[in-house]
Amino acid sequence: MSALPILYSFRRCPYAMRARMALWIAGIVVELREVKLADKPPQMLEASPKGTVPVLVLPGGEVIDDSIAVMRWALAQSDPEGWLAGDDAALIELADGKFKHHLDRYKYPNRYEPDGVDHRAEGLAILKQWDARLAAQGQMCSATRTLADAALFPFIRQFANHDRDWFDAQDLPHLHPWLKTHLASDLFARIMPKFVPWKAGDPAIRFGP
């Protein structure tokens, strides 16, 4: 068993991104194991048979395989920026439920339906709600970033990147600078280095501040 928590992650997965952000802010160093989703390591599947990232294996053997649960666990250890004050369950449920539903069908129309335009419009309607929220306070739950911002940001980034010209033309005067700020943040840069997929026997990669 590793002396550090082990994090199975995939660099571009939004769920893994938000877990890495919370771990970094909490100051928790982990042994990072980058996963190739088409060839998942058996050690990860043994820890979490559902086969999705992130998977955090604690030194005592406890497994946390839900991204929000990883965030909450990390911030319960240390929360220097007060992120848990923005643990808005209803907001996160909207993002992970309805917004993610429309995002998937907009981004991968051939996988679900022949035309994703209706789902783009539904996703935009939710973004307009969040834009109004940002107008009132700057970030999703307060004047400073919190858990909610880190939880939503990777999925809004994904929505924006699918057709950036279209997205940039939308009337979202508060969400556009919010997204730009998070994309340009030191935190985002630090949780996005590239690693080769992990195999048993590879040297351990220490990941953290």
CA distances (Å), origin 120, targets 167, 183, 186? 10, 22, 30
Beta-strand pair 55-57/30-34: unpaired
The pLDDT of residue 81 is above 70:
yes
pLDDT digit string (tens) for 173-182? 999 999 999 9
**Domain 83-188 belongs in CATH node 1.20.1050.10:** yes
The reported pLDDT for the residue numbered 126 is: 98
Q: What is the pLDDT of residue 112?
A: 67
Its CATH architecture, for the domain 6-82+191-207, is: 3-Layer(aba) Sandwich (3.40)
pLDDT at 111: 74
Q: Write the pLDDT tens digit of every residue in 49-65.
A: 999 999 999 999 999 99
**Which two tokens mark 168?**
């940039």
Query: Per 3-state DSSP, what percentage of the chain is helix, strand, and coil (rounded to 5)?
Result: 55, 10, 40
Query: Band of the pLDDT at 113, cuts 50, 70, 90?
Result: low
Q: Is the pLDDT of residue 114 over 90?
A: no
Mean pLDDT score of the chain: 95
Q: How many CA atoms lie within 13 A of 170 on its CB side?
A: 21
Pairing of strands 30-34, 6-9: parallel
> pTM (2 decimals)?
0.94
List the chain domain ranges: 6-82+191-207, 83-188
